[in-house]
Chains A and B, each alone.
Chain A
């Protein structure tokens, strides 16, 4: 962590701005641009502040960056972006992408993403990432020139395809299972939390009606009037207090969401491993069959049914030269195959080693972050309870003066 970018550079996503422009299909569209500000962390002991660099990026560019990182570092659990569309909303929240609250929460999420990448021991050293932060023009071209798209396409197809691995790595299978369960439980939690927030909102707001009716009632009372009126005011305060409480709770929900998406990233690593394993098994299988073919040609025995066997029966045997040629080709292929298998094995072992290192790092981060999240949630609940006690104590005092 000593070398990571986050220690050397201050990164913030400080502003969001609505823009209009023509997109790739020359159609006018409205989008939001985010201002990324960076500043080198120099020795600030002399009060000298390094200059701030800044540039604007839109969400799609963040997506491009993340895709690039995912493809280029398949063994890393790449930090996720904040959600593209508002999900898990309860009635008061807007599902509109242009809604200022949504934009604000997204701004925070994007900053968090950049900080996560910048503090990752491997990812922070990536040049494309650095350019994303510092080079406004021509960055997109730079990314495309890496050719990661080609890898991305083939891997994407493979990731979605169903295939069976004969000898799966138990640890990765368990991890994939865990990430599936984690996604499921966090989604469930977020859905129910949204409903809970909705209901709680209702409870608080209905109390506002007491404010009005106490006021009306106080008008016909003599001694009771003042007490009723002031108690009614406290009921209004109570009803209004829920807005801030639930807004704060959204930050907790956002953190849970981050780990929901992190679970996806974790799953992707497992899937990539599966793919590698499958490739390996296919390559080994292919090699075995070629060796077998070679043997058959050399010894003249046909062990398995093959088209060659049939055609040779129909059209006569091959000449000795033909057979020799075939054997030579096969031997070349076999040699190539063995080399490939060797490198694939190495690749696989490297992948597993570095993937597990990152998975361990991720586990620690996750446990730490979620614990902090739960603490902040408890603190939020405590604050809400204290506010409730305060308001009702005030109301009680007003009632006592009736």
Chain B
């Protein structure tokens, strides 16, 4: 079970996102019918054929199955939280622009590789646009109301005039969509959801969407939960604690978001001044004879620092801020799920109260109340499990995010250091020695 979808500690400057997915290659090599689809299969041979690297970036010799399976074991040790073995891999990549008469939009390639029985084929490749992801999320919320559904990147571009089709925007969005699907893939319940399956496999998703209502009615089991109209007496301690935690958590994230934005702003203003500063040394160099080269050298150096700074700000804008915002959205949607849970509990409590008041002994009532009790207990159990999973993932995600931020800053300073160190000999050069 290779663990590229889950973040792992990275000792090198490369972030895990840049790592090639163990099964993602440009080659169309298929996991052929020679392999028996079984959830326990670790797929050593197929992985051995693909491009693999250790999390720190060093390429792995995959010629022997032994080495690749030991690699998988290594990755698995850090990764195996639920004791499950991976049998489903999903990637979002290859954005493409489509220009039609009515509109212009972007689609992304969604690649699936799996050994699960629920899938007819071991491999799929479909194209999806943002509204398809949005549809999927809504469907998951509807059909799995007791679970935490990961957030999507924002639908509309909120701040400033951002080009929806710019490379940076599309790439940021792609990463978020990839994260979204990977989080669902990780989830022991959500990953088996029918809508998710269709999303990953259907050639014509629109046709399925239209059938949506018909399909639901065929499913028989009503998954609708009552929302609204009931007031919960009190949240159980553990959920109250979760609620309080989420409130403070999203507040702190909001603050961090503002600080990060402010830093980027200050850096860009610093950059503006630096861009004027460097060339003045060059102008001065033009006036001088003996000092001409040293002054030009300093000017070029400052120019290099400008480039490095620009890269740092871009990286922070594209990689750091979106993930923060994602988690703020995640917190918001989690708070909503908590409220839904409250509603279910409230309904149960109300029904209990009604019985107490009625003092009747009807056989119908207990079953009704029993069902409610079941719902509450299910919801609580699902939510608890999801919260634990979420806490763990959150810890990994933030560890990676903050380490990434530190890394970017280290790289910035290293680039500047190299630039300044390289001109010292130039500055010390005596004209007589030339």
Write the residues of chain A forming the contact surface with B, with a CB cutoff of 8 angstroms.
178, 181-182, 185-186, 188-189, 192-193, 195-196, 198-200, 202-203, 206-207, 209-210, 213, 216-217, 220, 223-224, 227, 231, 367, 370-371, 374-375, 377-379, 381-382, 385-386, 388-389, 392-393, 395-396, 399-400, 402
Q: Which of B411-431 contact A (CB under 8 A)?
A: 412-414, 416-417, 420-421, 423-424, 427-428
Interface size on B, residues (CB 8 A): 51
Q: What string of 1s and 0s marks CB contacts (under 8 Å) between B70-107 and chain A?
A: 00000000000000000000000000000000000000
User: Which one of A185, A192, A385 lies within 8 Å of B417 (CB-CB)?
Assistant: A385
Interface flag for B259 (CB, 8 Å): yes
Q: Judging by beta carbons under 8 Å apart, are A399 and B403 in contact?
A: yes
21 A-B residue pairings within 8 Å (CB atoms):
A178-B287, A185-B283, A188-B283, A192-B276, A199-B270, A203-B266, A203-B270, A209-B255, A220-B252, A375-B428, A378-B423, A381-B416, A385-B417, A388-B409, A388-B410, A389-B414, A389-B417, A392-B406, A393-B406, A396-B407, A402-B402
Quick check: B413 and A389 within 8 Å, CB to CB?
yes
- Interface-side segment among B21-29, B178-186, B289-297: B289-297
Partner of B287, one of A182, A210, A379: A182
Q: A200-B270, A210-B256, A367-B291 are in contact. Are A385 and B420 (CB under 8 A)?
A: yes
Q: With the chains together, A60 CA to B290 CA distance in Å? A: 36
Which chain A residues lie closer than 8 Å to B414 at the CB level? 385, 389
Query: A389-B413, A399-B399 are known contacts; what are 17 more A-B pairs with Cβ within 8 Å?
Result: A181-B287, A189-B280, A189-B284, A196-B274, A199-B273, A203-B266, A220-B249, A220-B252, A224-B398, A367-B288, A367-B290, A385-B413, A386-B417, A392-B406, A392-B410, A395-B402, A396-B403
The SS class assigned to the B binding surface is helix
Partner of B413, one of A203, A227, A377, A392: A392
* B417 cross-chain contacts in A, Cβ below 8 A: 382, 385-386, 389
Residues B383-401 near A (CB distance < 8 A): 395, 398-399
A-B contact count (CB 8 A): 135
Residues of chain B with a CB closer than 8 A to A223's CB = 395
User: How many Å from the CB of A235 to the closest CB on chain B?
Assistant: 10
A132 to B347, CA, bound (A): 97
B406 to chain A: which residues have CB within 8 Å? 392-393, 395-396, 399
Q: Which B residues between 273 and 324 are near A, CB-CB below 8 angstroms?
A: 273-274, 276-277, 280-281, 283-284, 287-288, 290-291, 294-295, 298, 301
Q: Are B269 and A206 in contact (CB under 8 A)?
A: no
Compute how far the CA of A199 lies from the CA of B271 in the bound complex, rounded to whole angstroms: 9
Taken together as a complex, chains A and B put the C-alpha atoms of A381 and B297 apart, in Å, by 14
Q: How close is B149's CB to chain A, nearest CB, in angstroms?
A: 23
- B269, B272, B424: the one contacting A202 at CB < 8 Å is B269
B410 lies within 8 A of A396 (CB):
yes
User: Are A224 and B395 in touch, CB under 8 angstroms?
Assistant: yes
Q: In angstroms, how far is the closest chain A Cβ from the Cβ of B421? A: 6
| B58 interface residue (CB < 8 Å to A) | no
Chain A residue with the shortest CB-CB distance to B409 = A392
Q: Are A195 and B409 in contact (CB under 8 A)?
A: no
Q: Does B202 contact A (CB under 8 A)?
A: no
B187 nearest CB across to chain A (Å): 22
**A213 near B270 (CB under 8 angstroms)?**
no
Q: Measured between alpha carbons, how far is A375 from B301 in the docked complex, in Å?
A: 13
Contacts of A385 in B (CB 8 A): 413-414, 416-417, 420
Q: Which residue of chain A is the closest to B421 with respect to CB atoms? A: A382
User: Given A220-B248, A374-B298, A392-B410, are A400 and B266 neighbors across the interface (CB < 8 Å)?
Assistant: no
A341 to B406, CA, bound (A): 76
**Interchain CA distance A188-B284 in the complex, whole Å:** 10
Residues of B within 8 A of A188 (CB): 280, 283
A216 to B277, CA, bound (A): 39
Check A400/B294 contact, CB under 8 A, given A178-B287, A392-B413: no
State the CA gap A217–B247 with chains docked (Å).
Answer: 11
CB of B165 closer than 8 Å to a CB of A: no
Q: Which residues of the other chain, A, contact B402 by a CB distance below 8 angstroms?
A: 231, 395, 399, 402
